[in-house]
Amino acid sequence: MEEYWENLSFVGKSKFVLSVVIGTMTVVLATLNWTEIQVHLIFWKPTIPLSLIILGAVVGGYAISYVFAYRKFKSKDGEIDVMKAHTAKTKELELQLESMQHQLELQRERSKNTEMELERIKNVPARESNEEQ
pLDDT per residue as tens digits for the range 23-80: 898 888 878 878 888 988 888 899 988 888 888 888 898 889 888 887 777 777 778 8
Is 61 domain-assigned?
A: yes
Stated pTM of the model: 0.42
Print the domain residue range for 67. 33-132
Is 25 domain-assigned?
A: no
Is 13 domain-assigned?
A: no
Number of domains in the chain: 1
Is 5 domain-assigned?
A: no
- For residue 37, the 8-state DSSP code is E
47 sits in which H/E element? strand 47-49
Amino acid at 44: W
Is 63 domain-assigned?
A: yes
Quickly count helices (H) and strands (E) in the chain. Answer: 3, 2
Is 2 domain-assigned?
A: no
- The total of other beta-carbon atoms located within 10 Å of residue 50's CB is 16
